[in-house]
Amino acid sequence: GNSVTQMEGPVTLSEEAFLTINCTYTATGYPSLFWYVQYPGEGLQLLLKATKADDKGSNKGFEATYRKETTSFHLEKGSVQVSDSAVYFCALTAYGNNRLAFGKGNQVVVIP
Amino acid sequence: DVKVTQSSRYLVKRTGEKVFLECVQDMDHENMFWYRQDPGLGLRLIYFSYDVKMKEKGDIPEGYSVSREKKERFSLILESASTNQTSMYLCASAVVGGQGGTDTQYFGPGTRLTVL
């Protein structure tokens, strides 16, 4: 079946540090890949997406590249701000499937 | 902008009560979803609907039912609330994607339900 694995545990880093959150997936066919973000007290919102291999999604300084050979979609940002503190979820949807498979999410805390 | 609204942000109910959670979207999306979110477990799909009066079970449907009488509205029903249903409930909607699957999901703000 389709599944997404995110690195374990919260991520705590200082302002202006480099952020990486790992995401790997298992899927049949050619899935679309997503990163969603959940700010405190809010629902999830789409951060970026990629629909085919080698596509790079980007938004608000965040980037992720769809790597079919390593089945990965790692999220990166070069210089984080306190306002980036949130929970980040990796997700995928596969051909003909009405569902998203979510990873368990990573809490990111950015310290001034 | 797509808007998904949920009827309550916070709800407190007693064990055994029947609970209705309402979700409305304003973008004519075919697909609608109900999730629950718990610490350490991420999001788990309860039910989804791909058309009016159509529904499919998700990963954890036990103890829940749903209703979709109109395209814009998707209701989650707890027939007899129990304490283990205390959780954050998130509704989402989506168009059908280019590959025939669901595209970007748009989420409501969530309802934090406490069952005493």
pLDDT tens digits for range B68-93? 999 999 999 999 999 999 999 999 99
Tell me, what amino acid is at A39?
Answer: Y
> Which of B4, B56, B99 is opposite residue A95, by nearest beta carbon?
B99
User: With 90 as the cut, is the pLDDT of residue B95 above it?
Assistant: no
> Would you call A99 and B92 a contact, using CB atoms and an 8 Å cutoff?
no
Confidence of residue B104 (pLDDT cuts 50, 70, 90): confident
| Pick from A44, A104, A105: CB nearest B107 | A44
pLDDT of residue A84: 97
d(C-alpha B106, C-alpha B37), whole Å: 16
Range name among A99-103, B18-22, B90-94 with the lowest pLDDT average: A99-103
pLDDT at B99: 60
In this structure, how many other beta carbons lie within 10 angstroms of the beta carbon of residue B80? Answer: 11
A68-100 per-position pLDDT tens digit: 999 999 999 999 999 999 999 999 987 666 788
Is the per-residue pLDDT at B5 higher than 80? yes
Task: State pLDDT tens for residues A17-73.
Answer: 999 999 999 988 788 999 999 998 889 999 999 988 999 999 999 999 999 999 999
A84 forms beta bridges with none
* Torsion-angle region of A9 (φ positive above 0: left; ψ -120 to 50: alpha; else: beta): left
Residue A107 has pLDDT above 70, yes or no: yes
Spell out which residues of chain A touch residue B103, defining contact as CB-CB under 8 Å: 32, 93
pLDDT of res. B46: 96
Residue in B107, B102, B90, B95 with CA at minimum distance from that of residue B29: B95
Q: How many angstroms separate the CA of residue B17 from the nearest CA in chain A?
A: 26
In the prediction, which pLDDT does A72 show? Answer: 97
pLDDT band at B10 (very low <50, low <70, confident <90, very high): very high
Q: What residues does B20 pair with on adjacent strands?
A: B77
Q: What is the rounded radius of gyration, in angstroms, for the C-alpha atoms of chain B?
A: 14
Q: Which residue of B has its CA nearest to A41?
A: B109
Chain-wide mean pLDDT for chain B? Answer: 92
